[in-house]
Amino acid sequence: MVIGQRGRGFSSAVFGPAARALVRWKVPPDVVTVAGTVATAAVAFGLLARGHLVAGPLLLGLVLLTDSIDGLMARELHRNSAWGAFLDSTMDRFGDASIYSAIAIVALGIPGTLGTWTFGFALAIVPLALIVSYARARAEGLGLSASVGIAERTDRLIISLLGCLLLGLGLPEWVLTLALGWVAVASLITVVQRMAAVYRQVQGHGA
């Protein structure tokens, strides 16, 4: 399941007009990138971490839906620069860490063994999500490709936030545990898949 790959055309169609409007208003894409990260952290810690498990996930979903606007603006301006790509990737890591840290705080409120597992999964996702992204970036820095994997960033965030939302709507706490467990395991598998892809390419070049 790679939701992120399927959602790019949708984002372009829906948010293209907003991106063009911001370009007309002379708003720099970098400002939109940083503002999105600030909004993500504010909602994660201001709502989600404080137990607002309906408003928090829904608002985070809305913010994340607009994540492509800065890229659409850059293409509109013909400024697909290395700096823009670097800034966007770096800000995404801040956003991811904020969301999963907030979910870990939520997990602390779940009692017993289930809470321990939920907290452990949330905590494990923080470094795993960073490693998934680093593996791809490092491979591309070496002139290789590592865009494979069963769990892209969008996949991980949708499943995690959906688990929080379902808990907020009254479903049992194990629903969040299951969602985070899937994300943690899928992230680990994705790391292995990307390492294997790079290894095959290196071996092929060596041959």
Q: Name the residues annotated as catalytic.
A: 92
User: Are 102 and 45 contacting, i.e. CB atoms less than 8 angstroms apart?
Assistant: yes
DSSP assignment, residue 110? Answer: S
Amino acid at 106: V
Kindly state the helix (H) or strand (E) to which residue 137 belongs, with its residue range. helix 112-141
Q: Under DSSP, is residue 168 helix (H, G, I), strand (E, B) or coil?
A: helix
Residue 112 makes CB contacts below 8 A (sequence gap 6+) with: none
Distance of CA 135 to the CA centre of its chain: 15
Residue 55 makes CB contacts below 8 A (sequence gap 6+) with: 47
